[in-house]
Structures are given as structure tokens and as C-alpha cells.
Amino acid sequence: MAGAVEIPAAAEAIKFIAMTPKTALSLFGIGLVGGVLSGFLGSGGAFIMTPAMMSMGIPGIMAVAANITHKFGKAIMGAKKHSEFGNVDMRMGLVMFVALFAGVKVAVSMNKGVLEKMGAAGSNLYISVMFVAILTWVSWFMYRDIKRQRNGAAENASGKGSTLTEKIRNINLPPMVHFKVAGVRASLWLALLVGFATGFLAGTIGVGGFIGVPAMIYLLGIPTYVAAGTELFLAIFSGAQGAFLYALNGYVDIRITLFLYLGSLIGVNLGAIGTRVVRGSQIKLVMVSIIVMVALSRAAMVPVYLSDMGRIAMSHSMHDMVTLLSNIFLYGSGLVGVGLIMMWILQAYRRAEKQEKSEVGVSSQAAR
């Protein structure tokens, strides 16, 4: 293919898809849904977008490349919006910068190595297994936290407690850095670890925020809104580096990236507005719901990719049925997430309107 670097063992993995009107509209829709969720959660949208592109027949490594490339522009817009709301801790973002770059570099090298040795199906399998492992851990971790809070064991004002994450958060390992916007004081090494993990996952599956955001919240003690905004600020750098590295190897289809970006520009602004009217506990609930459904979607595809590699036998009918089940979980997660966000935003504005009318009525009576 013109303009692409030859990859001997995986030539089939770098074929561009036919860009029909239906494909373009689907990519725009994926970008729109992903943008709403990313603007609202600081993550979430991107880890729906990579599997959604794979379900369209785009090779996993190209889906990751398109996702991380489009994140560069989207992150600039999202970070700007969150910055206007005071949700971005620039100092934390700059502290994590070096570790973030190292994580992306390692991840891209590993993705390329898997593709060359195992082909397109092996690459898809590797990316899906990474999704399942990480999403399962994150969903269990966050569900346990939500359940503990509902049982009356919510975090106290000082952020101290007996859980493992709270013990890690309170480790006094010099040098300690004060992050003014986030209102926390944390170890530099812990911040760098979070930065590396965020970069590694961004380079591996196209999104690092669903590790970065929870890690900032639970390990560094950062408020939910600031964590979401700061992750989008970090995504500017991980997106730029990931786009550069994947483009060098011929994995970036700029057409896919542009359609994702157009949808995301609209969605990310809607999602960011939602953070101003929705409680932090609701944000966590949306994130857990989406994570669980996407994890189930990727888990369902594992036997499909093993069949494509010739490792297990699977009939065509079973192959199609499992793929359909995976898509139901995948697209259902996006619909559930965006639906909840829009419902809560409308409820918040209705409450605001009722309160405004009530205040006007009281003022009118007082004037009489």
C-alpha cells in the first residue's frame, strides 16, 4: 500500500477499509458517543471506540492508532473546556509528562511486536485480552468503593482510612509535591507511576484515562472533576506521541481519525457541561456500568479471535452469534452511558427551572 511501511508478517493488518457513507456515518456516531463519555468521565468514550471500530472490521492496531490520534485534537478541546471550569491541574499534568511518554513508547513497541509475530487475529486477541483484564480489575475496584460508600463507609474529609488505596495515598515518600488545583500533596514517585500506567494503556488500547482517572481519584486523592479534566490535559501529550509513533509504521488511517474527531468535538463539550450538574457518585456509577459492559463485549470476542487464529474450532453460525452478542454489549454500553448522562442533565436543568420559578414567586409575594 502506498505510504505504508511494510510489515512482513502482518501485511493484511494494514489494509485500509472502504470508506462508504455508512462507514463514515458509523465512525461519526462512534466519535459522538465517545466524545460525550470522555468529556463527562475524562475517559470512558475512548475504550468504547476501539472495540467499536474493531467490530466494523478495522484491525485492532489500526483502531488503537486512530483512537489515540483523534484524541490529540479532542483532548485539546476537552481540556480547554474543563480548564474554564477550573478542573485542570497543570502542575500534575506536567509532573506526569515524562512517565507518560515512556509508557506510550513501550506500549507501541509491544503492539507492533505482537502484530509482527501473531498477525492481525493475534493482535486483536492481545488487545481484547488487555481490555478484559484491565476493565475487570477497574470495575471491581470501583464497584467495591461505591458499595462501601453506600454502606456508610465513605471517605472522611481528611481522606485517611484503612483501605489499601488510602494507605498507598498516605505514603510519605519524598519528594512530596503539592498540587494546588487538586488540593492534595502526593509523592512524586506515585504521580509518575500513574503517568506511566496511563501512557502505557493509551498506547496499548488507545485509552489510558480509565486507569488514569480512577488512579488520580483513589491513589492521589484528587477530586473526580479535577481528575477528569487533568486526564484530558495529559491526553494531549499521549495522543500526539502515539499518533506520531503509529503513523511512522503506517497504521494511521487519517480518514477514520477525521470522522471520529468530528463526532467527538460535539460530544466532548456536551459531556464536560454534564460534569457541572451531575454528582461525583453518579459519574462513578456511569463509569462502572460502561466498563462492565465493554469488558463483557471483549471477553465474548476472545474465542472468536482464537478461532480466526486456528487455535480452536468454531462453526460459522456460532462465530456470527458470538460476534452479535459482543456487539450488543458494546453498543449497549454506549447507549446506557449517554442515556444516563442526558437524563441527569435534563433533570438538573428542570430542578434549576423549578427553583428559579419558586424564587420568582416568593419575590413577587414579598413585593406585594
| DSSP of 183-247 | TEEEEHHHHHHHHHHHHHHHHHHS--HHHHHHHHHHTS---HHHHHHHHHHHHHHHHHHHHHHHH
Cell numbers given for 117: 509475530
**In angstroms, rounded to a whole number, what is the distance separating the alpha carbons of residues 277 and 351?**
10
Residue 206 φ/ψ region, left for φ over 0, alpha for ψ in the -120 to 50 degree band, beta for the rest: left
Residue 259 and residue 49: Cα distance in Å, rounded?
12
pLDDT by position in tens, the chain (length 368): 334 434 434 444 456 677 888 888 989 988 888 777 766 665 556 678 888 888 888 888 898 998 888 877 767 766 777 777 777 887 888 888 889 989 999 999 999 999 988 888 899 999 999 989 888 887 787 777 777 776 765 444 434 444 656 666 667 767 887 777 777 777 888 888 888 988 898 888 887 776 777 788 777 878 877 887 888 788 888 888 888 999 888 888 889 988 988 888 787 777 767 666 666 666 667 777 778 888 889 999 999 999 988 888 888 889 889 999 998 888 888 787 777 777 877 887 787 777 777 766 666 666 66
pLDDT of 125 reads 92
What pLDDT does residue 196 have?
Answer: 92
pLDDT at 150: 67
Sequence-separated (6 or more) residues with CB below 8 Å from residue 365? none
Phi, psi of 186 (to 5 degrees): -135, 160
The residues near 319 (Cβ < 8 Å, ≥ 6 apart) are 304, 307
Nearest to 293 by CA among 142, 144, 139, 130: 139
Cα distances from 228 to residues 81, 83, 152, 224, 225, in angstroms, run: 11, 11, 25, 6, 5
Phi-psi region of 24 (alpha: psi -120 to 50; beta: other; left: phi over 0): alpha
Question: Residue 5 has what DSSP assignment?
Answer: -
The predicted pLDDT at position 158 comes to 39
Q: Which residue, among 103, 115, 144, 141, has the nearest Cα to 14 in the 3D structure?
A: 115
pLDDT value of position 13 = 45
Q: Which three cell numbers stand for residue 351?
A: 430542578
pTM: 0.74
